[in-house]
C-alpha cells in the first residue's frame, strides 16, 4: 500500500465565539473518519489558522483533501507538502489535537510565508512542529 501525505495551512472562517465547540465537533468527527480510512495525523489551530498533516493510503488522502477544500470553515487553503511517504510520522494518532495552540501562530504564519516564497522546508518544519506537539500530548 502506497502511503501519502498532505500538509496544509488554511485560514479559519469560524466565528471566535463558536470556535471551541466547532473544534470539538471537527476533532470528534475527524478522529472517527480518519480511523475508518486508516489515516493518521495532527491538527493545530492558532485561533486564525489551521495547520494539519494527514498521512495514509493515497485514495483516503485525496478524499479528505477534497472534503477540506470544500469545507466552508476553511479558506485560502495552502499546500505546504504533498505526495508519497515511506513511513508514518503519527502512527499512534488518528488525529492528534489538544486544543487551541495560539502559541504557535507565529511559526505557522512564518512557514506559510516561506512556502509562498518557494521554500521547500516549510512543510518539513510544520511536520516537525506537529510531531513534537503530538509526542507531548
Is residue 36 helix, strand or coil? helix
Q: pLDDT tens across 27-45, in order?
A: 999 999 999 999 999 999 8
Pairing of strands 40-45, 49-57: antiparallel
Mean pLDDT computed over 6-10: 95
Residue in the structure block whose three cell numbers are 473544534:
23
> What are the sequence ranges of the domains in the chain?
3-136
Residue 5 has pLDDT above 90, yes or no: yes
Contact (CB, 8 A) for 80 and 8: yes
pLDDT band at 103 (very low <50, low <70, confident <90, very high): low
Please state which of the four CATH numbers 3.30.70.100, 3.40.50.720, 3.90.76.10, 3.40.50.10300 is assigned to the domain occupying 3-136. 3.30.70.100
The pTM of the full predicted model, rounded to 2 decimals, is: 0.81
Tell me the sheet residues that pair with 54.
6, 41
Mean pLDDT computed over 11-33: 91
Is residue 4 helix, strand or coil? strand
Amino acid at each position: 500500500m502506497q502511503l501519502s501525505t498532505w500538509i496544509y495551512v488554511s485560514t479559519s472562517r469560524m466565528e471566535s465565539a463558536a470556535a471551541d465547540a466547532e473544534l470539538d465537533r471537527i476533532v470528534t468527527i475527524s478522529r472517527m473518519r480518519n480511523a475508518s480510512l486508516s489515516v493518521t495525523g495532527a491538527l493545530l489551530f492558532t485561533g486564525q489558522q489551521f495547520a494539519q498533516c494527514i498521512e495514509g493510503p493515497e485514495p483516503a488522502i485525496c478524499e479528505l483533501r477534497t472534503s477540506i477544500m470544500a469545507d466552508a470553515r476553511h479558506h485560502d487553503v495552502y499546500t505546504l507538502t504533498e505526495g508519497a511517504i515511506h513511513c508514518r510520522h503519527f502512527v499512534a494518532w488518528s488525529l492528534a489535537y489538544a486544543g487551541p495552540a495560539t502559541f504557535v501562530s507565529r511559526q505557522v504564519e512564518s512557514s506559510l510565508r516561506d512556502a509562498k516564497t518557494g521554500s521547500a522546508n516549510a512543510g518539513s518544519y510544520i511536520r516537525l512542529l506537529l510531531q513534537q506537539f503530538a509526542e507531548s500530548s
